[in-house]
Amino acid sequence: GEDVEQSLFLSVREGDSSVINCTYTDSSSTYLYWYKQEPGAGLQLLTYIFSNMDMKQDQRLTVLLNKKDKHLSLRIADTQTGDSAIYFCARLGDSSYKLIFGSGTRLLVRP
Amino acid sequence: DVKVTQSSRYLVKRTGEKVFLECVQDMDHENMFWYRQDPGLGLRLIYFSYDVKMKEKGDIPEGYSVSREKKERFSLILESASTNQTSMYLCASSQPAERNHVLTFGAGSRLTVL
């Protein structure tokens, strides 16, 4: 299957950590991605992880990959109001060019 | 610093009209894509092009066609627009495998079909 699933909505308080979760069905995925979409804009790559890695950290962002459970998460430390956006999880499909996206998680950061 | 440009941000068309959505990238990317974004459905691939004049159907090609006459330009065509094609359309481009298939997106074109 090609499903990538995410919860639709997450609300956090400013300064707290946010954790956005994603599950996928195809264990052969080689690359997994997190994209951010701000209002009225296209998608912007946040980070990606290769399937032989368990974790990747980039400043406030931490990506965790559990291949056994086919679970990907994005943790945003010290969440700011500017982090309010839609976050898309995606995986590289079998065709080696096609990215398969989840439905997106809308993150709302409350002051 | 704009790298993928979609010529129209907002369009309003009538049912049955022919619609052209244009996309230009300045990164010399070989791959170009058209996605459609709908609430709760995420992004769905309409068409993909890996070279000039080359195209492949994505997951939802029905009602759409594409044109790639030049490397930097990829056009999406709705031959006869219908109300169920009201959506946000996103163009993207990428390099081949050594770039980890990272997509660079345009800002999107929001189409309303009345």
Residue B2 vs residue A90, higher pLDDT: A90
List CB contacts (< 8 A) between B90 and chain A: 42-43
* Residue A21 parent element (H or E): strand A18-24
| Inter-chain residue contact A98 with B45, CB threshold 8 Å | yes
Beta bridge partners of A4: A24
Nearest alpha carbon to residue B68 among B27, B24, B111, B36: B24
pLDDT in tens, A20-39: 999 998 877 788 999 999 98
pLDDT in tens, A40-78: 889 999 999 998 889 999 999 999 999 999 999 999 999
Contact A99, A2 (CB under 8 A): no
pLDDT of A89 higher than 60: yes
Task: Show which of residues 36-95 on chain B sit within 8 Å of chain A, judged by CB atoms.
Answer: 40-45, 48, 50, 58, 90, 92, 94
Residue A109 vs residue B95, higher pLDDT: A109
Count how many pairs of residues, chain A against chain B, have C-beta atoms within 8 Å.
54
Mutate to test the interface with A, among B23, B43, B49 (most CBs of A within 10 A): B43
